[in-house]
Amino acid sequence: MAVKRSWVESANELEGDFPVENLPFGVIERDGERRTGLAVGDQILDLHACARAGLLSGEINLDLRALAVSGKARKVRHSAAEWLSEAGHRSRVQPCLVPQSSVRMLPPFEIGDYTDFYASIHHATNVGKLFRPDNPLLPNYKWVPIGYHGRASSIVVSGTEVKRPSGQTKAPDAAAPVFGPSRMLDYELEVGFFVGEGNALGEPVPLHQAEARIFGLCLLNDWSARDIQSWEYQPLGPFLGKSFATTISPWVVTLDALEPFRVPAAPRPQGDPEPLPYLTDERDRLRGAFDIQLEVSLLTARMRAAGDKPARVSLGNLRDLYWTPAQMLAHHTSNGCNLRPGDLLATGTVSGPTPESVGSLLERTKRGAEPLALPDGEQRKFLEDGDEVILRGWCESEGHARIGFGECRGIVIS
Ligand code: CA
């Protein structure tokens, strides 16, 4: 398939995230307004400006939530791809572009509810080994897409500073806990997916319809205070060790853009049970997973001062998950729970089978026992103040333009 070219030159860069085949949706603040835009190269196509220029019908509600629910997002993206590829449209469309560097990105949706899954069996096994060496993977794991209800109010967009949380922690040999700043602050590399059209309370979404409810994907860092988490998590699961901040990338990459990068769900090892019928669908098994490379980089205060580049500390792939996004969404609604437009579901930490592909420091440093060596000679057990965590994600496939997610960044402050 021929790779499309755009008259927006930066959209044609081979290593770029935003060619005209991608056109992810985001929300910008411009002239005091909340506006919906599409990323193209290093620019943003301001859809509200397009409407004012007569390129889009004034009838279309351009609020991103409305676009995601009405199904008009597909048509808008399709039209925009035409305008941006054909030179004849340039004079009318160019005034609707704004450099990405000149505007502030807002969260793409007002997120009502956020649920975090635990869909990487490698992550679940690694973490289980640290907390329960004799019994790493609990017996429900291969039957139930495990998840918990996260906190929506503290979801922030890339670039927002993350304040080190304080909380109760208890050293294993201490008689009582103390209250103070977390000393075991960590990141979790995840992918989020936004709900477009929701479902009514009491009406589960069957697996074969689940993908139609997913508007698109973003990168997500589920910041985690391991010392707070390990003291509080039993018996009801994560709470204050997680709820202080979750960072998302601002661009929502649509399933349409991800179509060339679909892959079969990761094969289940011999002897693993088949999913129950409500989690089984042939189409989902054959093409329900996504081949997305996922990277974590770290930029410490010292590296920043020295002008160093961020150091890659992990490279994994979303295709390794034990459950597909559609299985997670179908399972979420299987008890009748209603999802609403703009709700955010996340995969859980994406870890692969090797040490270089794990998505958290907890796993990489074996809970601090094996510090990670950085290229400038520094070491990390967990995150220090001034450390910036940068997530990136991209897709590559022969014959298709590379597409990416942009960045999901956050710097730790005290
Ligand atoms: Ca998580």
- The answer to the question of residue 4 being in a domain is no
Q: Which two tokens stand for residue 387?
A: 């450390």
Query: What letter represents residue 319's amino acid?
Result: R
Shared domain check, 75 and 154: no
**358 and 313 housed in the same domain:** yes
Domain containing 15: what range? 9-106
Q: Clarify whether residues 374 and 264 are in a common domain.
A: yes
Helix or strand or coil: residue 217?
strand
Amino acid at 126: N
Q: Kindly give the distance from the C-alpha atom of residue 333 to the centroid of ligand 1, in angstroms, as a whole number.
A: 20
Task: Let me know whether 30 and 165 are in one domain.
Answer: no
Collapsing DSSP to helix, strand or coil, 192 comes out as: strand
Domain for residue 155, yes or no? yes
Total domain count, the chain: 2
Backbone region of residue 70 per phi and psi (left: phi > 0; alpha: psi in -120 to 50; beta: other values): alpha
Q: What pLDDT was estimated at residue 1?
A: 42
For position 3, what pLDDT does the model report?
62
Give how far Cα 48 sits from Cα of 36, 155, 201, 328, 382, Å: 7, 26, 33, 34, 43
**Helical (H) or strand (E) element with 78:** helix 73-85
Q: How far, CA to CA in Å, does 405 sit from each of 30, 205, 250, 354, 358?
A: 22, 27, 9, 24, 19
User: Of 78, 106, 134, which residue constitutes the final position of a domain?
Assistant: 106
Same-domain pairing of 38 and 154: no
Please name which of 196, 240, 192, 235 lies closest in space to residue 215, comparing C-alpha atoms. 196
- Residue 283 carries which side chain, given as an amino acid letter? R
How confident is the prediction along the chain (414 residues), in pLDDT tens digits per residue?
446 799 999 999 989 999 999 999 999 999 999 999 999 999 999 999 999 999 998 789 999 999 999 989 999 999 999 999 999 999 999 999 999 999 999 999 999 999 999 999 999 999 999 888 888 899 999 999 999 999 999 999 999 999 999 999 999 999 999 999 999 999 999 999 999 999 999 999 999 999 999 999 999 999 999 999 999 999 999 999 999 999 999 999 999 999 999 999 999 999 999 999 999 999 999 999 999 999 999 999 999 999 999 999 999 999 999 999 999 999 999 999 999 999 999 999 999 999 999 999 999 999 999 999 999 999 999 999 999 999 999 999 999 999 999 999 999 999
Instruction: Tell how far CA 78 is from the center of its chain.
Output: 24
Instruction: Encode burial over 278-294: b for 16+ CB neighbours within 10 A, e otherwise.
Output: ebebeebbeebbbebbb
Q: List all residues 6 or more positions away from 212 whose beta carbon is below 8 Å from its beta carbon.
A: 196, 197
The owner of tokens 């503290």 is 154
Domain-ending residue, one of 74, 106, 138: 106
Q: Which tokens is 273 given?
A: 């049970």
Instruction: Tell how far the Cα of 192 is from the centroid of ligand 1, in angstroms.
Output: 10
For residues 69, 74, 79 and 80, what is the CA-based torsion angle, rounded to 10 degrees? Answer: 80
Structure tokens at 245: 């901040």
Q: Where are the beta strands (DSSP E) in 69-210?
A: 97-99, 104-106, 114-117, 147-149, 155-157, 162-163, 166-169, 178-181, 185-186, 189-195
Q: Is residue 3 situated within a structural domain? A: no
Task: Please say which residue of 106, 124, 158 terminates a domain.
Answer: 106
85 and 132 fall within a common domain: no
Cα 115 to middle of ligand 1, angstroms? 9
Ligand 1 midpoint to CA 118 (Å): 7
Within this chain, do residues 319 and 406 fall inside the same structural domain, yes or no?
Answer: yes
**Phi, psi (deg, nearest 5) at residue 130:** -70, -35
d(CA 358, CA 413): 24
CB distance 137 to 322 below 8 Å:
no
In a domain, 387, yes or no: yes
Contact (Cβ atoms closer than 8 angstroms) between residue 228 and residue 164:
no
Q: Nearest-CA neighbor of 391 among 405, 378, 403?
A: 405
Q: Does the annotation mark 123 as catalytic?
A: yes
Note the pLDDT of residue 338: 98
Element (H, E) at 394: strand 388-395
The token pair that represents 378 in the structure block: 């520094």
Q: Are residues 232 and 99 in the same domain?
A: no
How many whole angstroms from 408 Cα to the centroid of ligand 1? 15
CA of 117 to the centre of ligand 1 (A): 7
Going from the Cα of 245 to the center of ligand 1, the distance in angstroms, rounded, reads 11
**H helices within 26-109, ranges in order?**
47-52, 64-70, 73-85, 90-93
Alpha carbon 169 to chain centroid distance?
29
Residues 91, 123, single domain; the answer is no
Position 1 in a domain: no
Q: What is the CATH number of the domain that holds 20?
A: 2.30.30.230
Per-residue 3-state assignment (H helix, E strand, C coil) for 282-337: HHHHHHCEECCEEEEEEECHHHHHCCCCCEEEEEEEHHHCCCCHHHHHHHHHCCCC
CATH number, domain containing residue 282: 3.90.850.10
Contact, 123 vs 360, CB < 8 A?
yes
Does residue 20 sit in the same domain as residue 163?
Answer: no
Same domain (yes/no): 253, 351: yes
Amino acid sitting at position 53: A
- Looking at the fold, whether 135 and 88 belong to one and the same domain comes out as no
CA 326/CA 62 separation, integer angstroms: 26
Centre of ligand 1 to C-alpha 229, Å, is 12
**Residue of 48, 122, 123, 332 marked active site:** 123
In a domain, 2, yes or no: no
Give 357 Cα–ligand 1 centroid separation in angstroms. Answer: 16
